[in-house]
């Protein structure tokens, strides 16, 4: 029985990711929005005024949040929170997140700053929550009792990790992974991508994105040492090509991969593993966990972003067109909702898992 | 000095490819539209009436073509043509094209039917015009004096062949090629893709497209035997993933490849070869040949379909983001105008080359 | 207390409107899907097979409907239904709907055929349910006990009727109405509008649409004679210009109008009337009725189709930018969800009202 | 015979309108780019570097302009120009344009600041070049010999003025005009409209746009007093509703209007007048003048932005669907290329006319 909800703060509450945090947390069984933080332009306003003209969600501002005052992102303002969710850009995140940790706050961050940090778990909640095991080490190394930083992955990395993890768990190490992404405009926030740039167009470049996929994948598919003090990178070779396409939400990714194991598993074995994959968030009955972590499509033309992105409130990933690859062993298409599991939903589900696993005691 | 223009027929003249033929041929220095053919719905009308409500070009119907009558696609109607360009769908093409050849007509076809035929050249005019050398053998095998069928490649294959050929010529055989396409809606003709399917969406499947890229590439990168009687397939392994994206014209393709040669060429060597590539159509000063066959972009976010597809009247291919691939040797982005070099422009340029090389005597 | 649900048949069940009927009726408190009908291509299949590759909804086929067999649309097949919802095109509707009525079936039709019929009510359920009063006359005139045809309006007419009716109720007859529409592609069904036609484009023409708005508005704003035997057209002059725009769902309509009453009401009075408008469906607590029939927006840039179309499950209409018109008295913007209140939701809500009002006894 | 070209300066040369000026003037028979000005971020760079990553045209930077240095927009820097074209935003335009005039420079401005000024002509070159007749008065009132400011209209006003002027010239004063616009995203410049706002959407509001159409139309349809010292506003009543739609270039406008003259002209008479309309720019053989000022379409679904916007290099306006209006006398659809005749082309054509009429002596 949950007697009291954890008090949560949301940093960057007025931005694109922040707005999603608000929607996910306004009526959450474990968490209760306690404090909202944003940049100086919003400080001193109540939430609904701070996002005036910038609230771009298809549902309205939750009534119980509309009049919450927006604060400056200082430790002083948030020190009585149990958890802080950060939707900050990497600029402000670079100083605010470590300052909050130092003040013994638990920070669940969407920013890129600490993803590759040796002490910080980088967790896609559908895949590698075992990396939370580094947290005691992080606290010890930082000289802290409670404070830590947990990060979730870049939106385009998030989509591919669950199927890659499922296959690695079943068939051993992957050898090579080639991925080409077709990413939605919402991934760039608001105002983000100019209509002038993406209308009737493809932009075959997203700054820093390919490097993130390549590095984050190696960390997340890797393991934590048995003493819980260091991450061992998985020696998989990853090559990514990233494109922006005129789609609002939902990243499509075309993946080809090979296994180290020879002969490789059959296509039917691959499909079965993906279909039967179950993650810890499901077993723990985390509030945001999808009923099915990986939805495998048999129709030849699915998944599609417009039709599939909102399935299970965007908390799962979709895999389709699983078939033999003439160059590697298997190829398939992945779809994930970049603003949900690719961003705020991952942070929140990470916190739900951490809570269930006792890391928030 | 060219005394008289070749009399050309256009089959499938009212369709999407056919309309492009009309625009390319209406004022051509070597060819003169002599006969127009289409399906029974159009037969008996003059051209402008036959395409009423279906002429979807940004320029109007050429005045000298507007009143040309549309005929049934019979040998009888077209027998006094020197050349026939076919924009027919594969259904009617399967019987009409061989019948026309048998009647000693030279057929330049966009249809897929004869692309992999052992006697028919499959030619991207910017790359493998040497395959025309099979034509005497085709004529002999068919017991013909003049008639033949020449095909050009599928639009998505067309884009990648020039850079692949340039690299193969310079650095020897390619080993593996992985390509993911982001294809424009115009590739599906008219009415083609429903707005309901592609609006705010990606469709990660185009029927038959991946197989075409994989098979056509092996034929076109291959060589013709020294006696001109058979094609030797290049043993390159190709894997394609094809997607439809909400772009009007212009196929974007993300390519990663490895060479057989070890060590592979450097990125600078690859760029230099692509930049300096010159094709036979340019040397022959073919009317439709671009000044530069492969345009290499140095900006980090180019090529882009909307900005680059109309360069050189869509007759070239664009390559950008040439860089090292962690998995293979090199990766880059290709853009080609699928309705120009990917379709009608290829047929017309093929005929220009064949004319210059004496195959139309 | 509702003891038993009405048994309903759905005609045209595999089409765009039919699919929406399925979603609205699969778990309805008053209605239970009993029979499904479609064209010969679907007959003999179970529903999920009949819509294979054509189910374009973001939620899946309801499980309890997936295996229902699809029947030919004959009286024999549907005679044990209490109600029939018709999503038929006007071609088949022209014979099937009257045949069904003649067989004593109650038909709620989306087709245009009987909208202007002197015996058939044309009802936007948020506005003129009083027109159901003609039903006894229709039955008598047709020599029937139970059978009738009820129609709902064209999608673009549907959006403007609630605000026009609200204003007419409050301030007396309208004099002139000028409306320009910006209509979504889903209004044309599937495959409907070719992406080639609407991509990066506006098509300033929709066949028959302007005439429908002009005629249907006069009927629906008119009254039923006191003896319930004839409709008196409202002598309002309406001029419509209709455009298709690249939006998936949601028709935007720019309206300017004048009142007969001089001086006209103030802008504040107009807003107040729109905001306070309550329709019979709300009072009857019809299952599909929105909590608010007309949502009035105060933000200067709303309503917008993408942000507002799904509010209240698309069962309401939105009005924004209510302001003085230099030429007429007032101008404003209307948004309605063309696939919901503009189509299937109207039929279903009409049946709910008719049920509550005793017309289905 | 033109002995020497006028030396022109371009202010705001790096912006969206400025880039169009560059393209229009790089090879102009009357004008020669002499100086380029932009904001401090660009000052000190050569043009091609100043627009790096912001050059969004489908043709490249003209070679003869690429290395021109970008200067601060000071009188000192531009004093040796004969003409200055201003693509400045209204902020900097408010001080720079009058300062340039005061320094005896001829300024042709796209900015809104002086459009309604009593001494400044507001001219759509296809319609009311007679307003240049105020220039001697402006110079006298300002105590100047050569300097003046000429403005061209807002892009959405520009489209409707030529047909309104043609009809007024032929049939006398217009009484009422109602116009609803569907405006392209390029009208907002770069980065302008966020893809997040306009993707799959309509925004029924453009700040200040409706007021501009209403006020500018009255000025431009009005006359200049016989002594050339004041504009007499035309007492036509105009009501505009403005929408942004997901189209790149090309504003569509739905117009309904009534004439003062009773009975009004017939639809055939209206069409004939529009079709036969000839403007002064054509008579003067101005370089940028279209061969046909108003293109009248007979097809029921034209004009369309994607198909018609580039006709005659975007220098004309298109009118289609001319038909009776149930509320007013006539209604029709107008299309104009907002980045060409709606912006830079108007400025340049205005200067061409002014040159031919002797105002630049």
* E strand segments, chain B: 6-11, 31-38, 70-72, 83-86, 106-109, 148-151, 174-183, 223-224, 231-232, 237-244, 251-259, 294-296, 317-324, 330-336
Which residues of A are annotated as catalytic?
155, 251
Task: Concatenate the DSSP letters of all residues of A282-316 into one string.
Answer: HHTT-TT--S-SEEEE-STT---HHHHTTGGGGTS
Nearest neighbour of D325 by CB, restricted to C182, C239, C246? C239
Bridge partners of D40? none
Bridge partners of C247? none
Question: Can the peptide bond before residue C263 be classed as cis, meaning omega within 30 degrees of 0?
Answer: yes
Other Cβ atoms closer than 10 A to D23: 16
- CB pair distance less than 8 Å for B254 and A214: no
Range of the domain at D75: 6-154+344-356
For chain B, say whether C186 makes contact (Cβ under 8 Å): yes
- CB pair distance less than 8 Å for D299 and B200: no
Other Cβ atoms closer than 10 A to C53: 8
Residue A14 CB partners (closer than 8 Å, separation 6+): A38, A39, A42, A47, A50, A51, A54, A70
CA A310 to chain C, closest CA, distance in angstroms equals: 7
In a domain, D1, yes or no: no
Whether residue A92 sits in one domain with residue A237: no
In chain D, the number of structural domains is 2
- CB pair distance less than 8 Å for C198 and B195: yes
What pLDDT tens digit does each residue of chain D (361 aa) get?
456 899 999 999 999 999 999 999 999 999 999 999 999 999 999 999 999 999 999 999 999 999 999 999 999 999 999 999 999 999 999 999 999 999 999 999 999 999 999 999 999 999 999 999 999 999 999 999 999 999 999 999 999 999 999 999 999 999 999 999 999 999 999 999 999 999 999 999 999 999 999 999 999 999 999 999 999 999 999 999 999 999 999 999 999 999 999 999 999 999 999 999 999 999 999 999 999 999 999 999 999 999 999 999 999 999 999 999 999 999 999 999 999 999 999 999 999 999 999 999 8
Nearest neighbour of B199 by CB, restricted to D56, D200, D311? D200
User: Which residues on chain B are in Cβ contact (under 8 Å) with A205?
Assistant: 300-301, 321
Quote the mean pLDDT of chain C: 97
In a domain, A361, yes or no: no
| pLDDT tens-digit map of A263-279 | 999 999 999 999 999 99
Whether residue D51 sits in one domain with residue D184: no
User: Which residues on chain B are in Cβ contact (under 8 Å) with D310?
Assistant: 58
Quote the mean pLDDT of chain B: 97
- CB pair distance less than 8 Å for D245 and C328: no
Nearest neighbour of C326 by CB, restricted to D200, D214, D307? D214
| pLDDT tens-digit map of C36-79 | 999 999 999 999 999 999 999 999 999 999 999 999 999 999 99
| pLDDT tens-digit map of A201-253 | 999 999 999 999 999 999 999 999 999 999 999 999 999 999 999 999 999 99
Average of pLDDT values for C94-120? 98
C155 a catalytic residue: yes
Whether residue A190 sits in one domain with residue A89: no
**C-alpha closest to that of C305 among C251, C344, C242, C254:** C251
**C-alpha closest to that of A125 among A295, A317, A310:** A317
User: In this structure, are residues B315 and B24 in contact, taking their beta carbons and an 8 Å threshold?
Assistant: no
In a domain, C1, yes or no: no
pLDDT at D1: 46
Quote the mean pLDDT of chain A: 97
Nearest neighbour of A200 by CB, restricted to C199, C248, C306? C199
How does residue A51 score in pLDDT terms, banded at 50, 70 and 90?
very high
In a domain, B165, yes or no: yes
| CA closest to B198 among chain A residues | A306
CA B204 to chain C, closest CA, distance in angstroms equals: 14
Average of pLDDT values for C165-175? 98
- CB pair distance less than 8 Å for B199 and C246: yes
Nearest neighbour of D301 by CB, restricted to C204, C237, C327? C204
Active-site choice (B34, B251, B297, B318): B251
Whether residue B101 sits in one domain with residue B72: yes
Residue B112 reports pLDDT greater than 80: yes
Whether residue B168 sits in one domain with residue B119: no
Q: Which of residues 290-309 of B touch A (CB under 8 A)?
A: 300-307
Query: Which chains have 3 or more CB–CB distances shorter than 8 Å to chain B?
Result: A, C, D
- CB pair distance less than 8 Å for D247 and C201: yes
Whether residue A230 sits in one domain with residue A318: yes
Task: Concatenate the DSSP letters of all residues of A32-88 into one string.
Answer: EEEEEE--TTTTTSBHHHHTTTT---SSPPPHHHHTPBEE---HHHHTT-SEEEE--
Percent of chain C with pLDDT over 70: 99
- CB pair distance less than 8 Å for A307 and C58: yes
- CB pair distance less than 8 Å for B199 and D199: no
D155 a catalytic residue: yes
| pLDDT tens-digit map of B320-342 | 999 999 999 999 999 999 999 99
| CA closest to C180 among chain D residues | D180
Calpha distance B68→B81 (Å, rounded)? 15
Least confident of B50-54, B271-275, D131-135, D239-243: B50-54
In a domain, B244, yes or no: yes
Write down the residue that tokens 């007032």 correspond to: C330
CATH number of the domain within which D53 lies: 3.40.50.720
Mutate to test the interface with B, among D54, D58, D201, D314 (most CBs of B within 10 A): D58
CA B185 to chain C, closest CA, distance in angstroms equals: 7
Query: Which two three-digit tokens encode residue A208?
Result: 């820093």
For chain D, say whether C241 makes contact (Cβ under 8 Å): yes
- CB pair distance less than 8 Å for B307 and D56: yes
* E strand segments, C246-312: 251-259, 294-296
Whether residue D91 sits in one domain with residue D167: no
Whether residue B64 sits in one domain with residue B49: yes
Nearest neighbour of D247 by CB, restricted to C200, C205, C325? C200
**C-alpha closest to that of C349 among C305, C290, C301:** C290
Write down the residue that tokens 């994206």 correspond to: B245
Whether residue C172 sits in one domain with residue C101: no
Whether residue D72 sits in one domain with residue D216: no
| pLDDT tens-digit map of D8-55 | 999 999 999 999 999 999 999 999 999 999 999 999 999 999 999 999
User: Which residues on chain D are in Cβ contact (under 8 Å) with B306?
Assistant: 58, 248
Calpha distance C217→C162 (Å, rounded)? 11
| CA closest to B312 among chain D residues | D59
In a domain, A206, yes or no: yes
Whether residue D243 sits in one domain with residue D257: yes
For chain C, say whether B57 makes contact (Cβ under 8 Å): no
- CB pair distance less than 8 Å for C195 and B200: no
For chain B, say whether C171 makes contact (Cβ under 8 Å): no
Whether residue C94 sits in one domain with residue C222: no
For chain A, say whether B269 makes contact (Cβ under 8 Å): no
In a domain, D140, yes or no: yes
- CB pair distance less than 8 Å for C190 and B185: no
* Cα Rg of chain B (Å, integer): 20
| CA closest to C334 among chain D residues | D204
- CB pair distance less than 8 Å for B56 and C186: no
Active-site choice (C34, C137, C251, C318): C251
Residue C253 reports pLDDT greater than 90: yes
Q: How far is CA C55 from CA C18, C49, C51, C337, in A?
A: 10, 10, 5, 19
Nearest neighbour of D191 by CB, restricted to A186, A191, A246? A191
Active-site choice (D131, D137, D251, D318): D251
CATH number of the domain within which C159 lies: 3.30.360.10
- CB pair distance less than 8 Å for B202 and A302: no
In a domain, A224, yes or no: yes
């Amino acid at each position: 029985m949950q007697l009291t909800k954890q008090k949560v703060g949301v940093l960057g509450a007025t931005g694109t990711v922040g707005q999603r945090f608000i929607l996910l947390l306004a009526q959450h069984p474990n968490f209760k929005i306690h404090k909202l933080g944003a940049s100086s332009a919003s400080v001193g306003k109540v939430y609904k005024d701070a996002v005036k003209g910038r609230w771009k969600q298809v549902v309205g501002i939750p009534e119980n949040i509309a009049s919450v005052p927006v604060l400056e992102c200082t430790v002083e303002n948030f020190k009585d929170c149990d958890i802080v969710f950060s939707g900050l850009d990497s600029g402000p995140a670079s100083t605010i997140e470590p300052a909050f940790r130092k003040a013994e706050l638990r920070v669940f961050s969407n920013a890129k700053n600490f993803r590759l940090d040796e002490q910080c778990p980088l967790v896609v909640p559908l895949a590698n929550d075992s990396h939370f095991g580094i947290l005691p080490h992080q606290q010890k190394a930082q000289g802290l009792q409670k404070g830590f930083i947990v990060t979730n992955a870049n939106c385009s990395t998030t989509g591919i990790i669950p199927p890659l993890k499922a296959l690695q768990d079943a068939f051993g190490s992957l050898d090579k992974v080639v991925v080409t992404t077709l990413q939605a405009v919402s991934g760039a926030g608001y105002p983000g991508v100019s209509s002038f740039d993406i209308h009737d167009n493809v932009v075959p470049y997203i700054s820093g994105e390919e490097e993130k996929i390549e590095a984050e994948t190696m960390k997340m598919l890797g393991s934590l040492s048995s003493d819980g003090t260091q991450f061992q990178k998985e020696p998989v070779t990853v090559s990514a090509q990233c494109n922006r396409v005129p789609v609002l939400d939902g990243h499509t990714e075309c993946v080809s991969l090979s296994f180290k194991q020879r002969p490789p598993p059959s296509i039917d074995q691959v499909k079965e593993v993906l279909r039967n994959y179950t993650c810890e968030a499901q077993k723990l009955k985390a509030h945001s966990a999808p009923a099915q972590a990986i939805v495998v499509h048999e129709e030849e033309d699915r998944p599609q972003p417009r039709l599939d992105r909102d399935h299970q409130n965007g908390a799962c990933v979709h895999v389709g067109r699983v078939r033999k690859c003439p160059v590697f062993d298997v190829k398939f298409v992945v779809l994930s909702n970049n603003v949900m599991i690719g961003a705020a939903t991952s942070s929140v589900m990470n916190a739900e898992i951490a809570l269930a696993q006792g890391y928030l005691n």
